[in-house]
Structure 1
Amino acid sequence: MIPRLTTSTLPSPVGPLAIATDEQGRLRGVSFGDGLTKAMRREYPRASFLEDETPTAVREGIDAYFAGDMDAFTRIPWTLEDAAADGGFQARVWVALSEVPAGTTITYGEMAKRAGEASAAQAAGVALNRNPIPLVLPCHRVIGADGAMVGFGGGLERKTWLLRHEGAILI
């Protein structure tokens, strides 16, 4: 099935969020800037796009997270169905991200282990860099083995802000 994706923009404390959802209102993409279309074309090369409102469940979930409800992302409907990476290591990394609780950080090595390939920390980093749903699939919760704030497509300032917002202990 060729997805038809709706794009929209939401304001947030970390800047405007570009959002892509499917016809069922499920989240397919988030971007902290103007890279949404590129990411969506990579994952859904045959998709068509139109601009419209953000579905209520997605908007309310993101708003609730920024209002302090740290479990809000668990209530946002999302899918990787029909994504180019569906079923592979990248997708397993993305799904494993959804299980990292707010306020918790894990290392790239631990992420690789959770995705089924314990020795693939670098590949996990590549997968995190290509995460089509950052924020909701919280790649900001993944840090270097030494506790360093490394790698976040939204920038390290946003990563630090998000972790502080979640109450994570930063070294």
Structure 2
Amino acid sequence: MELSLDEIESPIGVILLVAGGGAIHALDFADCAARLRGSLEARYGAVALRSAADPHGFSSRVRAYVGGDLGALSGIPVEPGGTAFQRRVWAELQRIPASATRTYGEIAASLGRPSASRAVGLANGRNPISLVIPCHRVIGAGGGLTGYAGGIERKRWLLAHEGALPAPRGESGRAGGLEPTRPSLTA
């Protein structure tokens, strides 16, 4: 399979966007390139990634999002693969608006499986299309920032960027900073 690859500069590092057939197939950070490639190969077998500038206009929309247009990612077609349950979780994540968060338990309950919060967490962690399927908007039951495959500091930046950073108990909720980085594309 041949897909298009673009690299997008952002305040939280270089973002890799993989698209084809009018949909995004993967979106991750350059320092997570091995995970991105592994996800694609697990779904498609051998994959050829061809450099392309702004495939389907998706890169421009990601740039707009990190630049402050929080609605820029809405409605982008995605092809994440996954099991039926994972796809249900990822669809539910896409219903979380920018500037809002949900807990794993709330997502499980919305899927009619209130005891499946751990399964929701596992599906959330396997999301191959970061940002567009906004797994960063899922927080712990106590409001804490729990796991994020791109790193907790990126999750903190994204939630602060969206105005959704929860104030931890006993803290001001100040987001703190994440300096721009240039991660290596080598895995």
Question: What range is the shorter-chain TM-score in?
Answer: 0.7 to 0.9
Aligned to 1:106: 102
CA deviation after TM superposition for structure 1 residue 47, in Å:
5.0
Higher relative contact order, structure no. (Cα contacts within 8 Å, ≥ 6 residues apart) = 2
Task: Kindly indicate whether the alpha-carbon contact (under 8 Å) linking 1:93 and 1:114 is maintained by their aligned counterparts in 2.
Answer: no
Task: Kindly indicate whether the alpha-carbon contact (under 8 Å) linking 2:156 and 2:165 is maintained by their aligned counterparts in 1.
Answer: no
CA deviation after TM superposition for structure 1 residue 57, in Å:
1.9
Whether 2:36 is the aligned partner of 1:36: answer yes
Which one is further off, 70-79 or 158-167? 70-79
CA deviation after TM superposition for structure 1 residue 169, in Å:
4.1
* DSSP 3-state at the match of 1:21: strand
Aligned to 1:46: 45
Identity, % of aligned positions? 40
CA distance in structure 2 between the aligned counterparts of 1:148 and 1:120, rounded to whole angstroms: 19
CA deviation after TM superposition for structure 1 residue 36, in Å:
1.2
Pick the aligned partner of 2:158 from 131, 150, 162. 162
Aligned to 2:90: 94
Aligned to 1:7: 5
Q: TM-score normalised to the size of structure 2?
A: 0.81
C-alpha RMSD over aligned residues: 1.6
Structure 2 gap ranges (5+): 168-187
Deviations 1:52-108 (A, max 9, x none): 21314211110111121111110423233xx2x25x111110111111000101000
CA distance in structure 1 between the aligned counterparts of 2:18 and 2:98, rounded to whole angstroms: 23
CA distance in structure 1 between the aligned counterparts of 2:95 and 2:19, rounded to whole angstroms: 21
Q: Which has the larger radius of gyration?
A: 2
Q: TM-score normalised to the size of structure 1?
A: 0.88
Please list, as runs of the form range in 1=range in 2, the aligned pairs for 1:119-130 lying within 5 A after superposition: 119-130=115-126
Structure 1 gap ranges (5+): none
CA distance in structure 1 between the aligned counterparts of 2:97 and 2:110, rounded to whole angstroms: 14
Task: Kindly indicate whether the alpha-carbon contact (under 8 Å) linking 1:27 and 1:78 is maintained by their aligned counterparts in 2.
Answer: yes
